[in-house]
Amino acid sequence: MDWKNKKVLVTGADGFIGSHLVEMLHATGAKVKALTYYNSFNYWGWLEGLTILDDIEVINGDIRDPFICNSITRDTDIIFHLAALISIPYSYEAPKSYIETNVTGTLNMCHAALHNKCGRIICTSTSEVYGTANYVPIDEKHPLQPQSPYSASKIGGDSIAMSYFHSFGLPLVLARPFNTYGPRQSLRAVIPSIITQMLKGEKESHLGNVSPTRDFNYVKDTCKGLISLGEAEDIEGEIINIGSGSEISISDLFMLIKKLTNSLSEMVVREERIRPENSEVFRLCCDNSKLKNLSGYSPRYSLEQGLKETIQWYMQSENLDKFKTHIYNV
């Protein structure tokens, strides 16, 4: 598909994955409209400082408001709906806000896309909806297990989205990325938490449970996977995983990052960083064969390649100084 002059909306454009997706879509020639979370400072999150701002339309708003959603989806070819509350630890403290954003917000976006006859909406889910793996690799038929308020809210949002496909024929694709990492990610995620503690010379790197395994996918691969779902034909109503197809324990990940940063920091498990026992997802590993079969795309970065690029970004003082490693970021 030729993206040139396609009218594309990205919600959550001010976030980690969203900002990378905006850059990648802009490079294709698409006309990008970027929704950022409303604030009185006109602060655009990770879009700030990008060189492409004169070429895209940035809008402040909130997907919890149906009027905003209706307005921003007018005259749009493809929507990438990424806006969400995503921190698992914070969902234990503020579960209602997750329902309002991840369920009601997705409802608003789907209804607006249907009303405005958008060509396709790609709703972004998460591998957390699968819970601890019953089998690996995890395919799209794996049971859903709400092991945290966050994952429950995403399961709810996914169900609302799929109901709009089945009930109203909304041209919708549900994308399920596994653990994405890369430049600009906040310290609520384990990879930037480890990297920044090491780069700031901390003698101890504080972590939660280090035995779980995760499927880490570099952000450029995740974004390319999302774009491939915008390009593929006849995939409406499909649920599609985006992941690397490999897994690594958090303890082994720590040792790999320690080697790549030449750090002397020692791993220390802190009680406040450990999830409630029945809430921890102990194993995630992606079956990405459906993505390959339907779109022809597969990830290109190895974990070590992606980590090297990520570390290089955090090593720049103007980036590293943005992060408060002494605070447990929920």
Residue 235 included in any domain: yes
In the prediction, which pLDDT does 329 show? 80
- Give a yes or no: residue 150 inside a domain: yes
pLDDT for position 49:
87
Whether 43 is catalytic is no
Domain contains 70: yes
Taking the chain (330 residues) in runs of 10, the rounded mean pLDDT of each run is: 95 98 98 97 95 97 98 98 96 97 98 98 98 98 98 98 98 98 97 97 96 98 98 98 98 98 97 92 98 97 98 97 88
| CATH of residue 103 | 3.40.50.720
Domain assignment present for 326? no
Asked if residue 132 belongs to a domain, the reply is yes
**Domain membership flag for residue 327:** no
Is 39 contained in some domain? yes
Q: Which of 37, 150, 164, 301 is catalytic?
A: 150
In this structure, are residues 207 and 193 in contact, taking their beta carbons and an 8 Å threshold?
yes
Sheet with 239-242: list strands edge to edge: 57-61, 31-37, 7-11, 78-81, 120-124, 172-177, 239-242
Question: Total domain count for the chain?
Answer: 1
Q: Which domain holds residue 50?
A: 7-180+219-246+284-301
pLDDT at 1: 82
pLDDT at 247: 98
- Verdict on whether the full-model pTM lies above 0.85: yes
Please report whether residue 276 resides in a domain.
no
